[in-house]
A and B are shown apart, each in its own frame.
Chain A
Amino acid sequence: MSRIGVFVCHCGENISRTVDVERVAKEAGEIPGVAYSCDYKYMCSDPGQNLLKKAVAEHNLDGALVAACSPRMHEKTFRKAASAAGLNPYLCEMGNIREHCSWVHEDREEATAKASDIVKFMVERVKKGKSLAPITVPVTKKALIIGGGIAGIQAALDIADAGHQVVMVEREPSIGGHMAQLSETFPTLDCSQCIMTPKMVDVANHPNITLYTYAEIEKVDGYIGNFQVTVRKKARSVDESKCTGCGVCMTKCPKKKIPNDFDQGHGMRTAIYVPFPQAVPNTPVIDRQNCTMFQSGKCGVCQKVCGPGAVDFEQQDTLTVESVGAIVVATGFKLYSIERKPEESAIQGYGEFGYGTIPDIIDGMTFERLASASGPTGGRILRPSDGKEPKQVVFIQCVGSRAREKGISYCSKVCCMYTAKHTMLYHHKVHDGQAYVFYMDARTPGKGYDEFWRRAVEEEEAVYIRGMVSRMYQRGDKIVVMGSDTLVGVQVEIEADLVVMATAVQAQDGADLLAQKLGISYDKYNFYSEAHAKLKPVECATAGIYLAGACQGPKDIPDTVSQASAAAAKVMTLFAKDQLERDPVVAKVNEKYCVGCLACKKVCPYGAVEEREIRDRQGNLVKVVANVNPGVCGGCGTCQATCPSKSVELDGYTDEQIMAMIESL
């Protein structure tokens, strides 16, 4: 016979106002197996916890039920108290008679009856409970950073400076990400490259950072503290260990007219190239699609001119496995392009803006490159079609964003500010030009942000027009912009020389595939989901994986850097311990009954189930059974509900416990 203690909390008056707590305690005392029951004003208070501890000792209790608030509130508190009294913490449970009872019912009789029922079935649960011990797992104190933009760089430097090893994996040939593409940054207008490149160099030179560029994540195994990550290093065709970065290959390459992605296709590069002069590492890569050698087998000029002999046409992709304890995902964003897109695009397209067929309608990032001193125009604002300086520039905000029926309902967050910045840059560079901005709302929360926007309007003379653009078309060398000013209530028409659209910030291409490899969740826009929007904004629901920057949702640089440092801090917190403890709510296989059908393996979302062969002493195979790796098991219990022979059991939620609860009803 069990000896269970039941403690009914008044929660001040929160519970006792509608529930007759004394009666609940009294009825609890009559349940078979309950050795002690009482009620108390505040169970969670110090005296309340002491009451529990004392009762455990005095009445020799082997289980405790605290009927109070939600276990989400105080389960930890009472388990700690129970543990201090020598009771196994997993034999202390909570009955929720506040959120699920006293607060939602008015009738005292009904509420009291319900509270008594809750106590009754929870007591059954405690009766059938088992003593459990927390699971410990070792921690590999090495972090993987996926993405080498400002978020990844910040997180990597923070973790590496704390003395831990860091592996950074970047898909592109150079780290730097989007921030390296920007001209100047709001709200201070300091030069993006000037503040970015030193950090890039720091990453390359840091003794604790191993940098893989032109590389992708192939596979992720393991769990918090113990991930095995397979990295695919794509064939660069240039041996990084030999290349000195002299750049002769690039000057000699005969293919010189390849649009450079870094300049949004508006600058040209060679087939062997570094994306931009300050690239880190400064090692070129051969773009095999465009290289004559790879396409026709004739050329090889780069190889001939390379002094150290670094060019290697035979190079193959290589796979490297890294063991890490934590992962920071910092894969950033991409900008929506209004070009007609394949079916999978989240946005339905903007035919009314010409689907990207009008050359002088560009996106914000292209404008950044035009305004950048290192850009294709050397920092002069010249329009793509004919290289003329535009005198009338129309900026359009919310292209793709906040257009629920076009596909994206969220606000891209950075556009209001960067458009204001663009109007300023334009005004600084083209004094007799006029900038117009079509906007729906100017959203400028942030330190110094609204002031910045107002400066664009009041001092830099940008004409802001509250309304959207319906259609744009080419007339001669002008773009006719048909918009409206809702403040006046008229249609507005502007003959623009250049149109800059603040297109939506979207998740990176392949963000969903990476999430599937990592086992983290993502929303319908492929942005990664944090564990809690407010209180766990950098953690993933999957332990040991953290988020930094725009891969989670649109973010500006200050927010990105803050989150990256926060993610680094979380990683360091994890690395502060040698062993990890976690709740023992994991599945266990009863090998005796297991028939090895492995239905559980198919449904396990964590890949925690493995096959295990049972052999006799002679080494003959007796049978194959399922085996659950407790370090990987997340504790959902799907395997147990699936198992046809009922030979898997989830600790803490066993069939026996649940049946007992149901039967007590």
Chain B
Amino acid sequence: MKNKLMHLSNETMNVGFVKKVEALSGTSVRRCFQCGKCSAGCPMTGFMEHPPNRVVRLLQLGQGARVLAGRSIWYCASCETCTTRCPNKVNLAAIMDALRKLSWDADGPSKESYVQLANRLFIENIRTYGRQYELRLGAAFNMKSGQFLKDLMLGPKLLSRGKMKLFHQKNKNLPEIEAIFNRIEEMRKKGEAL
């Protein structure tokens, strides 16, 4: 996908997808003139197959699928350095958010599953417990990702120092949280929100 010949035409350029990204992120990809400042300052460029400027470039060419197929968006640390320094005020961090959401909605064709998994578990945690329950989060992640021993050595240290709790905290607002999740799902079903 990365190096495949790119056909450009009104049909192959998915302008609708780009418009969605622009609506979600509230920023225009056309404003970018490819100076590369975002990629220059990005702490994660080295981990990405498409550095940030190229992500925008692919969007300019209507090549959302190429972006989603890669793992770049999942390697964005959301540090906002790009957005802060962009000479054209292209909110790249918001574009990354939008891309991740669209990938998430499409159940992610991305190669990067760990970050997706972590995000999924994190949000599930909110829905279930209201607050983060780190022990469960970590354990569930290790189970599902198959990295059974990951950070195992940290567990006892954290527990012994009270940095990780064995049980979750109770929260009176749980029904309200559930309602928020439900209402958002409802709105999306009705097409009132992206």
Contacts and interface: CB of A to CB of B under 8 A. Distances in A.
Binding partners A and B:
yes
Interface of A: 391-392, 432, 434, 436, 454, 457-458, 461, 463, 465-466, 485, 487-495
Given A458-B28, A458-B30, A490-B4, A495 B53 contact: no
Contact of A488 (B31, B33, B61): B61
B54 interface: yes
Nearest to B57: A487
Contact of B8 (A454, A461, A466, A492): A492
A488 B8 contact: no
Contacts of A463: 8, 13, 60-61
Contacts, number: 58
A494 B10 CA distance: 10
A638 B173 CA distance: 102
Contacts of B10: 391-392, 432, 434
Given A457-B30, A465-B61, A490-B4, 20 more contacts: A392-B10, A434-B13, A454-B33, A458-B31, A463-B60, A465-B8, A485-B57, A485-B61, A487-B53, A487-B57, A488-B50, A488-B57, A488-B61, A488-B63, A490-B2, A493-B5, A493-B6, A493-B7, A493-B8, A495-B7
A494 B7 contact: yes
Nearest to B4: A490
Chain A CB within 10 A, most for which of B33, B34, B50: B33
Interface string B45-67: 00000100110011011010000
Contacts of B57: 485, 487-488
A487 B9 CA distance: 18
B169 interface: no
A487 to B, nearest CB: 5
Given A391-B10, A392-B10, A463-B60, A487 B34 contact: yes
Chain A CB within 10 A, most for which of B2, B6, B13: B6
B34 A490 contact: no
B34 A466 contact: yes
Interface of B: 2-10, 13, 28, 30-31, 33-34, 50, 53-54, 57-58, 60-61, 63
Contacts of B63: 488
A420 B56 CA distance: 21
Contacts of B33: 454, 457
A29 to B, nearest CB: 65
A495 B30 CA distance: 23
26 contacts: A392-B10, A434-B10, A434-B13, A436-B8, A454-B33, A457-B30, A458-B30, A463-B8, A463-B60, A465-B61, A487-B57, A488-B6, A488-B50, A488-B54, A488-B61, A489-B54, A490-B2, A490-B6, A491-B6, A492-B5, A492-B8, A493-B5, A493-B7, A493-B8, A494-B7, A495-B7
A457 B10 CA distance: 16
B18 to A, nearest CB: 11
Chain A binding site: helix, strand, loop or mixed by DSSP? strand
B8 to A, nearest CB: 5
Nearest to A491: B5
Nearest to A489: B3
Contacts of A488: 6, 50, 54, 57-58, 61, 63
A281 to B, nearest CB: 48
Contacts of B8: 436, 463, 465, 492-494
Given A485-B57, A487-B53, A488-B61, A494 B30 contact: no
A23 to B, nearest CB: 59
Contacts of A491: 5-6
A391 B11 CA distance: 12
A454 B88 CA distance: 11
Given A487-B53, A487-B54, A492 B30 contact: no
Chain A CB within 10 A, most for which of B2, B9, B28, B58: B9
A485 B57 CA distance: 9
Nearest to A454: B33
A422 to B, nearest CB: 18
A436 B7 CA distance: 12
A489 B61 CA distance: 13
Contacts of B5: 490-493
A490 B12 CA distance: 15
Chain A CB within 10 A, most for which of B4, B7, B28: B7
Contacts of A494: 7-9
A485 B7 CA distance: 11
Contacts of A490: 2-6
Contacts of B9: 392, 434, 494-495
4 nearest interchain CB pairs? A458-B30, A487-B57, A494-B8, A491-B5
A646 to B, nearest CB: 67
A494 B33 CA distance: 22
A470 to B, nearest CB: 12
B30 A461 contact: yes
Contacts of A391: 10
A488 B56 CA distance: 10
Nearest to B55: A488
A434 B4 CA distance: 22
Contacts of B2: 490
Contacts of B4: 490
A488 B60 CA distance: 11
A7 B13 CA distance: 78
A457 B32 CA distance: 9
